Structure 1
């Protein structure tokens, strides 16, 4: 048996060179398993600068801006990969409603003709200077790959307590009276209407949440402004006392 003796200094220099080579291969994109395989085979000719570039996550390549033969530097973008099994949707919300929105609240989006359920995962704190709205980030599952970055959708976010009941009408059904109060037009008899003051609790996209009206009351939901104008022209008071 032959035993080779080396000095401690040479041993330490060899260990440092080994660790530097290992770190360099890791930095160049090789995995620990690939490095271990290369080391086990002991074939230095295989260390020719070629290696398999692996993605750190599953997903779909959406951009590959490099060209074959191009010289690249550390930090250059070669592939852009996104995991579309779930996506983020940025919703724009009226600042007055933000205090009612909370992280974890159920949400859904309308994409095409189908609703997809999700939840609120982040609430931004800066006001958009252009739209004068605040951003809310929703997480939406996308198992069928139906949704894609850059796509516009309609959003709905649940506010208040789960199961909370509210009386709602189309937003165009509620108008300001000459006194400045909110009112709706209720049907007293077929074709006969009179104004009734209500309280506008809050507004949602296309929807008014109100109080002061009994559920089931028949009201004008379309052409409300026309009814108000006709009653004013006929000489009837359009405010209710």
Structure 2
């Protein structure tokens, strides 16, 4: 398209009076008309030293927030009698989860009933009707029985209800939700015998989740809580905050783990999902950086940019590439204050090629 439009373009040394075409005024300089600049979308920018942000990628995995989650497990060997909720359900604080039976629990409930009854009787007696030692002993027996039930995971209201429990229900007890959340694990069946400490359910508050990013050990990144970070999954970005950094390598992946906190109010993220994690790392020193569109390859394969010598006049300048900052790359070989073409450089290069110019003056 450009060749057809500017096929009549001429350069210094050729006899042509039409000033609307490109002319070659000096060695390796290209002069473009305003019409050509507008058509090719050439954009000029003044170079300056400034701090940039480097984009760093790491694979990551969504994890349940260990600070807002907990495992539901019996504290004594038991038989599962009944479930009150299922996987994926939302539960509220003190909502029943699982009812179980335990022989040890039946004994603890019986001991509490006896001790409670005795203590209630003793409290009604006058100081002269019972010795102080017997009073202290009754209180100690009651406290011990009460504490035993608490240690087995029975809640205070459930303990108070033991006095009204029929004998056929002794040994029954119900585990309730300690906090609101979603049931993210459900690994039992009714009638199953479960040992003390076995996880039956996991409750997680998914409003805030963790993401564990795997950082290469060779990286010298210093990731602090003020570093800009985000998680991308299925094309959607979620803002994240660095909260923890491991000081040892994962024995399997041989990577360094960095943990981020992600808000999940829309519940688009779930534990177990693999995601892409991005960090914006500020440069330690100021640099000159340009977008990729400003760069072209010379005939020798070197990188060049087109410097504006005067309005509409450009010449190629060989540069070296340094550190990459997201969609920009550091260039070495130019000075602050110089003006270069950051858009439309390819058009300028094509005009140079048509004229047969050599950036190296070979």
Return the TM-score normalized by structure 1: 0.67
1:167 maps to 2:286: no
Q: Secondary structure at the match of 1:98?
A: coil
Corresponding residue number in structure 2 for 1:24: 148
Question: What are the equivalent positions in structure 2 for 1:78-227 lying under 5 Å apart?
Answer: 78-94=200-216, 95-99=218-222, 101-128=223-250, 133-160=255-282, 167=289, 169=291, 184-186=303-305, 196-201=318-323, 203=324, 209-212=329-332, 217-218=341-342
Q: Cα deviation per residue 1:206-239 (whole Å; 9 max; x = unaligned)?
A: 7664143678644899xxxxxxxxxxxxxx899x
Secondary structure of residue in 1 paired with 2:146: helix
Report what 1:38 is aligned to: 161
Corresponding position of 1:226: none
CA 1:209/1:218 → structure 2, altered by over 3 Å: closer, same or farther?
A: closer
Q: Secondary structure at the match of 1:26?
A: helix
For residues 48 and 124 of structure 1, the distance between their equivalents in structure 2, rounded to whole angstroms, comes to 48
2:214/2:255 contact within 8 Å kept? yes
Calculate the aligned-residue CA RMSD, in Å. Answer: 4.2
**Aligned equivalents of 1:140 and 1:102: distance in 2?**
15
**Which of 142, 167, 179 pairs up with 1:57?**
179
Q: In 2, distance between residues paired with 1:26 and 1:113?
A: 48
- Cα distance in 2, alignment partners of residues 71 and 59 from structure 1: 26
Distance in 2, matches of 1:184 and 1:59, equals: 56
Query: Does the Cα contact within 8 Å between 1:123 and 1:135 map onto a contact in 2?
Result: yes
Q: Deviations over 1:87-114 (max 9, x none)?
A: 1111123443413x21342311111121
The 3-state SS of whatever aligns with 1:5 is coil
Which has the larger strand fraction?
A: 2
Of the structure 1 ranges 124-133 and 140-149, higher mean CA displacement relative to structure 2 is found in 124-133
Larger C-alpha radius of gyration, 1 or 2? 2
Change (3 A) 1:165 1:103: farther
Deviation at 1:149, TM superposition (A): 1.5
TM-superposition CA deviations, 1:33-84 (whole Å, max 9, x none): 333x427xx4253772323311222211122212212223321111112221
Give the distance between the partners of 1:78 and 1:168, measured in 2 at CA.
57
Q: TM-score, structure 2 length as denominator?
A: 0.47
Cα displacement string for residues 169-219 of structure 1 (whole angstroms, at most 9, x for unaligned residues): 56xx899xx9xxxx634368xxxx967333523x57x76641436786448
Distance across 1 between alignment mates of 2:277 and 2:213: 7
Determine helix, strand or coil for the equivalent of 1:96. coil
1:23 deviates by: 1.5
For the residue of structure 2 that corresponds to 1:51, the secondary structure is strand
Indicate conservation of the 8 Å contact 1:29/1:54, yes or no: no
- 8 Å Cα contact 1:125/1:134 also seen in 2: yes
